[in-house]
Structure 1
Amino acid sequence: MRATAPRTQHGFTLVELLVALGVMALIAMLGWRALDGMARTQEVVQRHTDAALALQAGLGQWGADLDAMASVPHTVPIDWDGRALRITRRSSAVPDTGLVVAAWTRRGVGGSGEWLRWQSPPLTTRGAWQQAWQQAAAWAQNPGDAERGAEVPVLPLDDWQVFYFRGNAWTNPQSSAGTDAGADASAAPNASATAPEGVRLVLVLPPGQAATGRIVRDWAQQGSNPNKPS
């Protein structure tokens, strides 16, 4: 009989092992980059979603303040002094707890601007209203700790403007056509200012947000129909 030579079994060489390890490392690196890219994309989407929700909530609160504006004798329903917009409005509490003063302003924070809202406690007397009205103006000018404790940051903001609709036109609230004799309650305590037919809000949002550039939001009193220019 013819003898059969023993079969030699070959294993992986060192070069083959190094190649296999290199391929596995490459696959792992590509997989990590894909996961990292997905995580970064998700983070960006979440930031834009949060910014969009903040903008929506801010504009919603702005509209709610104007919708609840109250024209009460010997008070001022709304006033814009170039820095802050102050609004005398009905309380949103249930049951109704009286009037409150709400105010909006833009303030520089850490080298950038921020849109802020302030609100007083419920007011039941004319003296309490007048004090809150003046406190809202002080908050926009030089807020102390007490005033800052009642403010709420809304969103980053580069600039903003406010216009009133009166006399069939949008005008600067500080111009002679848009100024009421009763705008200063301390100077004219027995006067009652008249709210404008409409209020135009112009926001300039900084780059890098969900929405950037110029945003215009018009509000009109119920029953009025201001002719809004395009």
Structure 2
Amino acid sequence: MTRMRPTRGFTLIELLVAIAVMALLALVSWQGLEGMARAQSINRERSDAVLTLQTALSQWTADLDATVTLAQTRAMDWDGRTLRLTRRSTDSALPVVYVVAWTLRSDAAGVARWYRWQSPGLTGRPEWQQAWDRAAAWGQDSTSSDEVGGTEIALMPLEAWQLFYFRNDVWGPAVGATALGTGTPLPDGVRLVLSLPPGPALAGVLTRDWVRPTASAPKSS
């Protein structure tokens, strides 16, 4: 009769080695999955930031394109902090204008953001003057949109912004409406310089030039 040999099992050391190898493989796999999730999150954040920036710049260009010069009003005014514009309605059936303001101010969390404010539709000079003054007050951090009325939109985080005007064939720092004079209510071009805060999505300095439709294209330098 043939005797059966006993089956040899794993030793304790072999089991410990196998467990250690499996743990190492699990750790490597988890790190790979975590890296993929982090990359997807960064890409999603960058895409959202780019979309927000594109939307803000499109609105900026639309406001400048729609800027209108009316009797006894100001088309554009820059006080070093807030840009105010008088713009026409995009609906030709509505004979109204709007006062629009852009500024950099801090939100409730203390984060500096680029903001846009727009008045209701205006049909008369007294209404325009009131909205124009409200836009100037809104440009101050101490005044909220609830106090002045109108519609306020927080656009994007921003460290700083600068404006330059193209006048007399040269770029120079933006000036107030009084310095522009009644004979030239609008500059030939407006250069927007945005300083984006550091972060994983967007960072650095962005420059955007706008040319008045009736003006010749300004030089980029």
Alignment of 1:14-53 (within 5 A): 14-53=12-51
Give the deviation of 1:35 after TM superposition: 0.6
CA distance in 1, matches of 2:48, 2:189: 29
Tell me, which stretches of 5 or more residues in structure 2 are unaligned?
none
Give the deviation of 1:216 after TM superposition: 1.6
Match of 2:62 in 1: 64
Q: In 2, are the aligned partners of 1:197 and 1:220 still within 8 Å (CA)?
A: yes
Alignment of 1:135-174 (within 5 A): 135-141=134-140, 142-144=142-144, 145-147=146-148, 150-174=151-175
Give the deviation of 1:81 after TM superposition: 1.1
Q: In 1, are the aligned partners of 2:78 and 2:177 still within 8 Å (CA)?
A: no
Residue-by-residue CA offset, 1:70-119 (whole Å, 9 max, x unaligned): 11222211111111100111123575362111100011344542111111
SS of match in other structure, 2:181: coil
- Shift in alpha-carbon separation, 1:229–1:9, aligned structure 2, 3 A: closer
Q: Give TM-score scaled by structure 2 length.
A: 0.87
Q: Give TM-score scaled by structure 1 length.
A: 0.84
SS of match in other structure, 1:103: strand
Q: Which one has the largest radius of gyration?
A: 1
Alignment of 1:88-107 (within 5 A): 88-93=86-91, 95-96=93-94, 98-107=96-105
Q: In 2, are the aligned partners of 1:120 and 1:150 still within 8 Å (CA)?
A: yes
Tell me the percent identity.
Answer: 47
Match of 2:125 in 1: 126
Q: In 1, are the aligned partners of 2:118 and 2:150 still within 8 Å (CA)?
A: no
Q: Which 10-residue stretch deviates more, 67-76 or 108-117?
A: 108-117
- Shift in alpha-carbon separation, 1:11–1:95, aligned structure 2, 3 A: farther
Q: In 2, are the aligned partners of 1:168 and 1:226 still within 8 Å (CA)?
A: no
Q: In 1, are the aligned partners of 2:99 and 2:128 still within 8 Å (CA)?
A: yes
Give the deviation of 1:193 after TM superposition: 6.7
CA distance in 1, matches of 2:8, 2:160: 76
Match of 1:198 in 2: 189
Q: Which amino acid aligns with 1:196?
A: P
Q: Which amino acid aligns with 1:174?
A: V
How many matched pairs?
218
Match of 2:216 in 1: 225
Q: How well do the aligned residues superpose, as a CA RMSD in angstroms? A: 2.5
Give the deviation of 1:62 after TM superposition: 0.6
Give the deviation of 1:152 after TM superposition: 1.0
Q: In 1, are the aligned partners of 2:177 and 2:185 still within 8 Å (CA)?
A: no
Tell me, which stretches of 5 or more residues in structure 1 are unaligned?
182-191
Q: In 1, are the aligned partners of 2:119 and 2:150 still within 8 Å (CA)?
A: no
CA distance in 2, matches of 1:78, 1:42: 43
Q: In 1, are the aligned partners of 2:79 and 2:176 still within 8 Å (CA)?
A: no
Residue-by-residue CA offset, 1:127-165 (whole Å, 9 max, x unaligned): 111111110000002313334872211112111111222
